[in-house]
Structures are given as structure tokens and as C-alpha cells.
Amino acid sequence: MPWFRKNKGDTPSANEVQLSRALQQTFRQYTAETEQQMQRDRDALDRGRIPEAAELRVKRTVNRELPWMSTLDIADLYLADEIRMTPLVQVTGSCYFQAATDMNGRLYLDSNYDAANLVHAYYRAKNDAVERMSQEASLAGAHAIVDAAFKFSRNQTVVECSVIGTAVQFEGVRPGKTPLVSPLSGEEFYKLLQVGWIPVNYCLGYHWHCMPVGYRTRSISSLWNFLNQELTPVVERFSDTRRYAIQQMVADARGGPRVDGFVGVSVKTEIEETELRIYAGYRGGYGAFNMMGNGITIDGSFYPFGNEGVAEVPAYNLEFFATGAGIARIGTGRLTKEALGTYLSSLN
């Protein structure tokens, strides 16, 4: 028997194929969005609005044409019910933001060797995502968004921020202009309300610094250094990076309603070795840099400019990323409906 006929017996018969197709047809059939719809969504995003489908979903859910849905788990829902907080609809927000680069896709650094464009991209991605999520919550007439789960990712110079949370309403309280945003779970939200505090917003502290190094710093980590010794210059610069990030986080909190403190702060840090390209004629940098005509001296090492007028300098990327929930004290003991109502009205 020829090889191409060997498995013929295993081929499903026409009846079996027909049966399988019929079975597949019994399932719900999915249809994709049209190209025109996608273009309308892009236009809406460019105008600072949310896509049509999101708007429609929120409206239909609030009008009870569709079942409500919530990211809250059962215990959270029970506690929400206990404080007369009703979940309205699941709300989302997303933004991809590209930091400015040169022709080769490399980041520009400012005069202090900070990646100001990347820092800007992180804040824009986060702010736009939160703004879009808040638009959905406002459409639903929500007072707050609870259990907002944020996800950040970076692919080279493109930063993504996505957030999904549950828009909620307090019974008998007039909706505010802008809903409060809480990255805390329903249970944590409940606990804070029991002791007179309320989550107000989600704050980000981010800083990215590139530290060019030379002989003095590199000699400490050299194989030939047999001493116990701290990399003091890197530690100092990393401390600065952390300080800037936390300053940014506080500034981020001041952009909205009053915040008295942060809880649930999570921190991620990263130090990686890299290579910095410094162009001839660049006058930025630290006091320790000496420009010497055809090269540059950094940290005790001289790096000559190559044929393209570029010196390649070893460096460390120092990154500090912190997020947390900004909370405000609005009473003492368990918050009453009146205290909550007064606070929310004061935000309008």
C-alpha cells in the first residue's frame, strides 16, 4: 500500500465530519468588530474618550439590560453589602505610551542622565488608563472604583498600563464628579472605613537614571579587589533615584483630592549594566566629567570619541518603581453615611 494511503482508515467519515460541524454550530457564534468600528474607537481614544463598546457595555449594565459584573470575590461582596456599597459594573482602562527615541530606538537622556521621556511615558500611561476607567465609572454614576488591579509592562520604550476594577455606589449618597480610585481589595476598603479612613487614589513613583561609570567605581567590583568594600557611588546614586521617585509619588498624590498617607506601597527596583553613548559636544553630565577635546573623562577613566564622534561608556541603569494607595482621614471610628456624603460632596 502506498504511504499516502496508509492512514486512510483513520480519516473521519463524511457523517462524522458532518456530526462534528453540527455540534460546533450549537455553540454561540462569535462575530468580530468591523474595520469602521475599530477606526471609530481609535478616533474616540484620540479625542480622549472611551471606545463605543465600553460605553455601551456600561450603559446597558447600569440600565439592567445586562447582568452586573464585578471583580470582587464573595467575601468582599458580602462586606460591600454590609456597608451599603453596591457594585455597579466592571470598569477598565488602558494606555500604551511610547517614549521619544532616536532613529535607532534608543532613549534620549537629559542633562542629568535621567530618562525623563521614559518617566513621562510611565505617568502618561497610568494617568490615561485611570482617566479612561474613571470615565466609565462616571457614566455609571459611581462614587468609587474598588479592587482596581493595575498592570504595568514595558517593551523597550513602549509602556503599557492596564487597570480593571469595580465601580461602586454608596446607597443614598449623591455621586461625586470624579470617582475615588482604590487599588485595595473590598475587604481592605471595608476595614479602612471602619476606622475613619478612605482610599482616595492610586499613586505612582517612578524614576530611571543612567549612571556612567569609570575606573574608580569599576575597580571596586573588579576580580582583583580582595577587600570587603561597598560600591558607595552606586549606592548614593541609587538613593537619589529612590528619593526622586518618592517625591514624584507624593506629587502624584497632590494632583487629586487630599491624601494624608499611603498604604499598601509596593516597590520594585532594578539595577542593570548597560552601555551609554555620549556624543562629542555634549555638555551635560556631572561635575566629575571633564571634556577633553577628543574624548571624555568619567570617574577616573578616559573614553575617546570614535569615528562617529561617540564615546561608549559603561553604565548602570537604576530604576525605582513604587505604587500605593493614597488614603485620607475623614472621621474617627466607623464612618457614617453622613460623613461619607459630606466628604464626597466636598470633592465636587
Partner 1 sequence: MLGMPEISSLRNPEECSAKWPYGRVKRMVKEAVPIDENQYQDIPQDALERLNRESGHYVFTSDLTVNEFVLVDEAGFEPLGMVMGSSIYHIGFQQSAWSKNQEMTVLSQAMYNARELAMSRMEEEADALKADGIIGVRLEVKHAEWGQHLAEFIAIGTAVRSKDGTSHRTIKGKPFTSDLSGQDFWTLMKTGYRPVSLVMGSCVYHIAHQGMLQMLRQVGQNQEMTIYTQGLYDARELAMERMQLEAADLQAEGIVGVNLHESSHQWGSHVIEFFAVGTAVKRFQESQLATPSLVLPLNDPGQ
Please enumerate in sequence order all residues whose Cβ is within 8 A of that of 203, keeping only pairs 6 or more positions apart, or say none.
249, 250, 252, 253, 259, 262, 323, 324, 325, 326
The CB-of-112 to partner 1 minimum distance in angstroms stands at: 18
**Interface with partner 1 (CB under 8 A), residue from 85, 92, 184, 245:** 92
How far are the Cα atoms of 155, 194, 232 from residue 181, in angstroms, in the given order? 26, 18, 40
CA-to-CA distance for 251 and 346, rounded, in angstroms? 21
The CB-of-186 to partner 1 minimum distance in angstroms stands at: 11
How far are the Cα atoms of 20, 179, 332, 335 from residue 182, in angstroms, in the given order? 48, 10, 20, 17
Give the bridge partners for 145, in sequence order. Answer: 167, 181
Q: If binding is defined by CB under 8 A, does position 220 make contact with partner 1?
A: no
CA-to-CA distance for 183 and 181, rounded, in angstroms? 7
In which element (H, E) is residue 123 found? helix 116-139
Give the bridge partners for 297, in sequence order. Answer: 290, 302
Q: If binding is defined by CB under 8 A, does position 289 make contact with partner 1?
A: no
Q: If binding is defined by CB under 8 A, does position 38 make contact with partner 1?
A: yes
Cell of 221: 567590583
CA-to-CA distance for 222 and 271, rounded, in angstroms? 17
**Interface with partner 1 (CB under 8 A), residue from 18, 75, 251, 312:** 75
Cell of 300: 577616573
Query: Smaller CB distance to partner 1: residue 9 or 287?
Result: 9
Question: Between 9 and 28, how does the x/- string for binding to partner 1 read (CB under 8 A)?
Answer: -xxx---x--xx---x--xx
Task: For residue 48, give the DSSP letter.
Answer: T
Question: Between 103 and 142, how does the x/- string for binding to partner 1 read (CB under 8 A)?
Answer: x----x--------x--xx--x---x--------------
Query: Smaller CB distance to partner 1: residue 191 or 243?
Result: 191
**Interface with partner 1 (CB under 8 A), residue from 84, 174, 191, 337:** 191
**Interface with partner 1 (CB under 8 A), residue from 62, 85, 94, 289:** 94
At residue 155, φ and ψ (nearest 5 deg) are -115, 105
The CB-of-63 to partner 1 minimum distance in angstroms stands at: 13
Q: What is the CA radius of gyration of the chain?
A: 28
**Interface with partner 1 (CB under 8 A), residue from 49, 59, 77, 231:** 77
CA-to-CA distance for 284 and 112, rounded, in angstroms? 7
**Interface with partner 1 (CB under 8 A), residue from 1, 82, 227, 293:** 82
**Interface with partner 1 (CB under 8 A), residue from 1, 14, 22, 32:** 32
The CB-of-330 to partner 1 minimum distance in angstroms stands at: 18
Q: If binding is defined by CB under 8 A, does position 49 make contact with partner 1?
A: no
Query: Smaller CB distance to partner 1: residue 80 or 296?
Result: 80
Asked if 187 contacts 77 with a C-beta cutoff of 8 angstroms, the reply is no
Please work out the total of residues on this chain that contact partner 1, with binding judged by CB under 8 A. 67
> Where does this chain bind partner 1 (CB under 8 A)?
10-12, 16, 19-20, 24, 27-33, 35, 38, 41-42, 45-46, 50-51, 53-54, 57, 61, 65-75, 77-79, 81-82, 87, 90, 92, 94-103, 108, 117, 120-121, 124, 128, 158, 160, 162, 164, 191, 194
